[in-house]
Amino acid sequence: MKDTFVQRCNLFSAACIAIYAAGLSVDVIDVDAAQYAAISRELLSSDNWIEITTRHHDYLDKPPLLFWLSAFSMKLFGVSNVAYKLPSFLFGILGIFSTAKLGALLYDRRTGALAGLMAATGLSVFIMFQDIRTDTLLFGTVTFAIWQIYLYLKSKNFWSLVLGFSGVGLAMLSKGPLGLVMPAMALSADFLYKRQWRNFLRWQWLVGLLIIAVILLPMSIGLYNQFDLHPEKMVNGNTRVSGLRFFYWTQSFGRITGESDWGTKYDNGAGPLFFTHTFLWVFLPWSVLTLLALLKSGIILVRSRFREGFLPEIISFGGFVLIFVALSASKYKLPHYIYVLVPLAAILSARFYLVEIQSRKRPVLVRLINTYFVIAGIALIMIPAVILLFVFPENTGWMWMIFAVFTLAAVFVLWKDKSVLTALCFVLLNCYAIGNLHFYPKLLTYQSGSVAGTIIASDPSRCENLYLVNPLYEYSVEFNSGIIPQHIYPDSSGYSTLMKSCDCAWLYVDQEGYDRLYPMIKDYVKRSEKLEHFAVQFLTPEFLNSSTRSTRVSTRYLLLFDPGTSEN
């Protein structure tokens, strides 16, 4: 017999994924996503895929899985935003699917379906699918690994063991040793709670470690050849840098011990409680349910003195808490580091909702949660309305139709079925549809690097030289143009560099560089484009208000310099 609740959850999850797919063509965002896209494009033209470079310099920061997959996607489908994002998008879907399957394995189909829906509609997943970084791969691989290894423990299916440890290997290729530590923490919580000490010493884990080693072998060979065999190389200001040590220790654990520059040399001031408040918005609107579920599980554990049997499972609770504490120990933190906890939070939240809210055992709690959902729904309706009225009010006809359809659907189910959860899901679809189809495409027109790169790629002159004058870290111009840039400074030496090239060159410059360099080269400028610019990853109220945006937008210039021509 078909369960209409499960069907409804699956339908909403599929609709949300379809909306995310509509955003694949939107330009990649500076700095990180655009840099990773540029590295992937550079790798595409390389003869050596196991040694990663950026702008022809050795790259030692993130593991290579994202670059390998995106470069391969571009090889199959051509260079585009879609091709870069597609592999990560598919792994994100894997993460949502694995959340649903793990929830069903731990509890039942209803819990799994609702957990998958909550994972799909949480705010962080919407952001993650648009601003593609390595965390999207980690989200999918870690969740898949936990699901498959736990399935192996219950079913003894050998292929689940193989798939689970393959997931761990891919997770390590995505984000380093954390890809092993996170599944190990979640599963160890289960072993400890059930006093299953023999699970720590299974001989099958040796098979799993062998699978991981095989998966990591190409990366390890590349790191050894690129860095360990060349101690004379200057890497991030240091010589005698071991690529193997960096990936297997410094990049992850060095942020706790202080060996990594991230947290010492580069300190963003994130204290030990940074992820506590960050999680509240990362998993909106479901984070309140997660907090209540954590509180309930914690009270049960303390009252039962951690004896087995009082909680139906502890993978979601124990995994969430242990990973959260481990991430909080890092001396350098950013919001997207915690996205990997979304699947476990979704399972906790889904089970709490079904047991405490849908069953209506506690009327006061039910009223409070439903009131919160209604308030959240009203706020979420206002967000796209504000976007369409005040942020980007241009060409909004179709967007208002989408807004009306989803809003009316939410009102209808709330009035007819009294289903606050379903109404909230319609409101979330409305927000994400307006975000992907209108907000982000309009926003990225102010990322001048993307605009400049597109102009270069479509210009009939086919000039293949690109110089960045002052803006050094805007990789969107590099990815969109397909030209690896060089750097010059806006003074007489920069002018000499251009004249000695004796060839055409594109110049991407800020206002300061333009004011200093243009008077020296104006007779040789064949094309000049004035571009509006804003660092779109750092949104401000003044920028979002269309009436005050001009006070926050700066100017960039794209110049086609050709010493073979002169306007005089």
Tens digits of per-residue pLDDT, 324-335? 998 888 878 888
Task: Summarize the confidence of residues 503-523 as an average pLDDT.
Answer: 90
pLDDT confidence band for 565 (50 / 70 / 90) = low
Task: Summarize the confidence of residues 537-554 as an average pLDDT.
Answer: 94
The confidence score (pLDDT) of residue 568 equals 42
Which of 172, 418, 446, 191 has the alpha carbon at shortest distance from 308? 191
Which of 257, 276, 280, 277 has the alpha carbon at shortest distance from 332? 257
Name which of 19-23, 236-240, 313-317, 438-442 the model is least confident about: 236-240
How does DSSP classify residue 229?
T
Tens digits of per-residue pLDDT, 49-106? 999 999 999 999 999 999 999 999 999 999 999 999 999 999 999 999 999 999 999 9
Structure tokens at 293: 């579920």
Task: Summarize the confidence of residues 460-489 as an average pLDDT.
Answer: 89
Task: Summarize the confidence of residues 200-223 as an average pLDDT.
Answer: 96
**Whole-Å CA distances, 482 to 27, 47, 395, 461:** 14, 17, 31, 14
Strand 525-533 and strand 57-58: the pairing is: unpaired
Kindly report the backbone phi and psi dihedral angles of residue 312, in degrees, each rounded to the nearest multiple of 5, phi listed first.
Answer: -65, -30
Q: Rounded to 5 degrees, what angle do the CA atoms 216, 217, 221 make?
A: 120
Q: Which residue has the tokens 């098979």?
A: 207
The confidence score (pLDDT) of residue 500 equals 73
Q: What is the mean pLDDT of the chain?
A: 92
Highest mean pLDDT among 109-123, 352-366, 496-510: 109-123
Residue 287 pLDDT greater than 60, yes or no = yes
pTM for the model stands at 0.94
pLDDT confidence band for 35 (50 / 70 / 90) = very high
Longest dimension (CA), the chain: 88
Query: Cα separation of 252 and 325, whole Å?
Result: 14
- Contacts of residue 236, Cβ cutoff 8 Å, sequence gap at least 6: 60, 261
Q: Which long-range contacts (CB under 8 A, 24 or more apart) does 81-88 make?
A: 81/24, 81/25, 81/26, 81/27, 81/28, 81/37, 82/24, 82/25, 84/28, 84/36, 84/37, 84/40, 84/41, 84/132, 84/479, 85/24, 85/28, 85/129, 85/132, 86/24, 87/137, 88/132, 88/136, 88/137
Query: Cα separation of 135 and 334, whole Å?
Result: 11
Residue 337 pLDDT greater than 50, yes or no = yes
**Sequence letter at residue 164:** G
**Whole-Å CA distances, 229 to 43, 48, 64, 173, 242:** 21, 16, 19, 21, 9
The confidence score (pLDDT) of residue 489 equals 81
The confidence score (pLDDT) of residue 494 equals 72
Task: Summarize the confidence of residues 157-166 as an average pLDDT.
Answer: 97
> How distant is the alpha carbon of residue 406 from its chain centre?
26
Residue 428 pLDDT greater than 50, yes or no = yes
The confidence score (pLDDT) of residue 1 equals 53
Structure tokens at 327: 């991430």
Secondary structure class of 305 (helix, strand, coil): coil
Which of 133, 17, 4 has the alpha carbon at shortest distance from 429? 17
Proportion of the chain above pLDDT 90, given as a percent: 76
Ordered by start, the domain boundaries in the chain are 4-358, 364-444, 447-561
Which of 72, 71, 77 has the alpha carbon at shortest distance from 37? 71
pLDDT confidence band for 265 (50 / 70 / 90) = low
3-class SS letters over 358-398: HCCCCHHHHHHHHHHHHHHHHHHHHHHHHHHHHHCCCCCHH
Say if CB 529 and CB 452 are below 8 A apart.
yes
Task: Summarize the confidence of residues 172-183 as an average pLDDT.
Answer: 94
